[in-house]
Amino acid sequence: MGLRRREALLLLGGTLVCAEAVAQASLIIVAGELPPYVSERREQSFLSDLFDEIGKQMGLRFEFRFMPWKRCELAVEALQAWGAVPYVPTPERERKHLFSEPLYAKRTMFFYYSPGGPRPQISFSELSDLKPYRLGGVRGYYYEKMFADAGLQAEFAIGEEQSFGKLRAGRVDLVPAVEAVGRDMIKKLFPLEEQAHFHMLDRPMHVGFNFLMSSRLYPGNPGDTGLLARFNKALAELRRNGVYNAVAARHGLS
């Protein structure tokens, strides 16, 4: 068999696999651990419950698979998954991927640990103002490049749990996290007497939204009647009919 013919058959096979997944009315969603928004522990996974409701509107089923955040992005790029959640658009990502309508609003705050009580506030107008401090965070998150561009020294972890563990151990001074995620991590990881020693800076690092990210090359995605358009329509209907708010309330989210 000629090389070109073999390559063509491989490409066709990959396309058929993706098309078959759509035909079977099942789409794979990849995510890392980020309770209360998404988690293998269903009771701590708002998005799992929300996607069940979206699937009912679309007439299909979503299958969640959990992996490190870097692998999530690679899985979407390789068309091994229809989408990854929750993600923030960046110029690099938008060249390769499409983004849904917002899944939820969030505030990313800087957390710090201080057994002696809240410290005097660290004021900053630009991220570069934080150069005197050691920053933590999660590898693969959108702010990784922001920190590098601002010239900040940062020590990244593989997940939120490890990031807050470094903060408690004094290996870093500040850790960014979505407010609900940070509070959830502190309650989960540390005894009650320790929890009161964690504080936040007053100023958010970032205020915005999180989204579903899906490859521009995924079969059936583009167009006004494509998968992403159907997803957005279903999400809008859940917001309109009150189901979205009910699911959010079950997970302690407003």
Q: What is the CATH number of the domain that holds 233?
A: 3.40.190.10
Same domain for 168 and 190? yes
98/130 same-domain check: no
Same domain, 129 and 184: yes
**CA distance linking residue 72 with residue 74, whole number of Å:** 5
What predicted TM-score, i.e. pTM, was given to this entire model?
Answer: 0.76
Residues 8 and 34 in one domain: yes
| Domain region containing 183 | 106-207
Phi, psi of 219 (to 5 degrees): -60, 135
Give the pLDDT score at 218: 96
Distances (CA, A) of 167 to 64, 69, 117, 192: 30, 20, 15, 17
**Do residues 188 and 133 both lie within one domain?**
yes
**Local confidence band at 106 (pLDDT 50, 70, 90 cut-offs):** very high
pLDDT digits 0-9 by tens, 158-177: 889 999 999 999 999 999 99
Q: How far apart are the first and last CA of the chain?
A: 59
The residue count of the chain comes to 254
Question: For residues 37 and 23, which has the higher predicted lDDT (pLDDT)?
Answer: 37
The token pair that represents 179 in the structure block: 């407010």
208 and 99 Cβ atoms separated by less than 8 Å: no
Question: Do residue 122 and residue 96 come from a single domain?
Answer: no
Report the number of distinct structural domains present in the chain.
Answer: 2
Q: Does residue 188 sit in the same domain as residue 239? A: no
Condensed to tens digits (0 to 9), the pLDDT of residues 204-221 reads 999 999 999 999 999 999
Percentage with pLDDT > 70 across the chain: 91
Same structural domain for residues 231 and 148?
Answer: no
- Is the same domain home to 63 and 180? no
Q: Do 95 and 128 sit in the same domain of this protein? A: no
pLDDT, position 25: 84
The whole-number pLDDT of residue 129 equals 97
User: Does 111 share its domain with 200?
Assistant: yes
**pLDDT band per the 50, 70, 90 thresholds, residue 178:** very high
CA–CA separation, 199 vs 132, rounded Å? 19
Two tokens, residue 78 = 């390789």
Which of 171, 172, 179, 141 is CA-nearest to residue 36?
Answer: 179
Residues 141 and 228 in one domain: no
Task: For 57-97, write each residue's pLDDT tens digit.
Answer: 999 999 999 999 889 999 999 999 999 999 999 999 999 99
